[in-house]
Amino acid sequence: MTHYSGNIGDFGMDTISLAGPLEAKLQAVRDAGFGQIMLAARDLVGHPGGLDAAVAAVKASGLRVTGFQVLRDFEGLSGHLHAYKIDIAKAMLEMCAALSCRLLLVCSSTSVHASGDSGAIVKDLRKLAILAIPMNIKIAYEALSWGRTVSEFPQAWDLICQADMPNLGLGLDSFHLFATQTSLDELEMLDPQKIFLVQLADFMWLDIKSVQERIDTARHFRVFPGEGVHSEALAALVGRLHALGYRGDYSFEVFNDDYQQMPLPTVTRRAWRAAQWLGEEVLRRSVPLPNQIRLKR
């Protein structure tokens, strides 16, 4: 939470929306008024000063790391592919721990080599959660709308329940939920304590029919909440989650090539407006006016 406002401290940005070096992104997000940021592995390994310098920059910024992303195509593999992905998972967990981050994001597999057997997927998710326990890291499992076996969050939730690990929970992404047109009524089956993160983005089209359209839109044409054609649906989603009892973080995961060509403050101001809209108009939060609090005489 920052000094700018006390009612949207649970909203944060993702570095994917911003161009430039890591330090400039961190400064822009903080200057806009956010207190947290979502980081990706490329933010660390792509730093010219190396991993240690990137971690030091993040810690010096004063921003809390919302989560670390993303482990892809992990579950359902066998043999040498499984061993390879275990090594990748361990490296991701180590970077996550170095940031003092407590959440690693994992998205459902799109690999043609992955088994669709639910028992195998559950076993792998359980193994990943066990690897994360000594580092005090939670695992948020997210259904990609183009996932090979798991494409909707009810499927991901069923696997999470079967794995039954205290540090394994659900990651919800509004884009994928809207792309698959999953009913918001399905949220009622969820335990709000097991929703570890909600990622929000709007987009400019009403219907996304093909898998390729989903991929292209997800990776290039998202906009901040309130800027696209799904503002009402986003408001309904956030309202339903709040009514359900969710009190965790919201991260703006906005992939947009145009934003990558804009000055950082311009992009962060758009994100700040989205946070204000969600906090003040959708969730109807309020904060005291300046200099209006008085102690009782």
Superfamily name and number for 11-282: Divalent-metal-dependent TIM barrel enzymes (3.20.20.150)
Nearest 5 degrees, angle CA 211-CA 196-CA 188?
A: 75
Q: How far apart, in Å, are the Cα atoms of 66 and each of 35, 41, 57, 194?
A: 9, 13, 16, 16
CA 34 to chain centre: 15
Segment 204-256, tens digit of pLDDT: 775 666 667 777 766 778 999 999 999 999 999 999 999 999 999 999 999 99
Token pair belonging to 199: 């990622």
Segment 159-205, tens digit of pLDDT: 999 999 999 999 999 999 998 999 999 999 999 999 999 999 998 77
The stretch 11-34 carries a mean pLDDT of 97
Count the helices and strands in the chain (H runs, E runs). 10, 10
- Is the pLDDT assigned to residue 292 strictly greater than 50? no
Q: What is the pLDDT of residue 221?
A: 84
Question: DSSP string covering 192-209, please?
Answer: GGGEEEEEE-EES-S---
The stretch 120-135 carries a mean pLDDT of 98
Its pTM stands at 0.92
Please choose, from the candidates 225, 211, 233, the residue with its C-alpha nearest in 3D space to the C-alpha of residue 254. 225
Q: What is the pLDDT of residue 297?
A: 39
Those residues whose C-beta lies under 8 Å from the C-beta of residue 161, and which sit 6 or more positions away, are: none
Q: What is the pLDDT of residue 206?
A: 57
- Is the pLDDT assigned to residue 5 strictly greater than 60? no
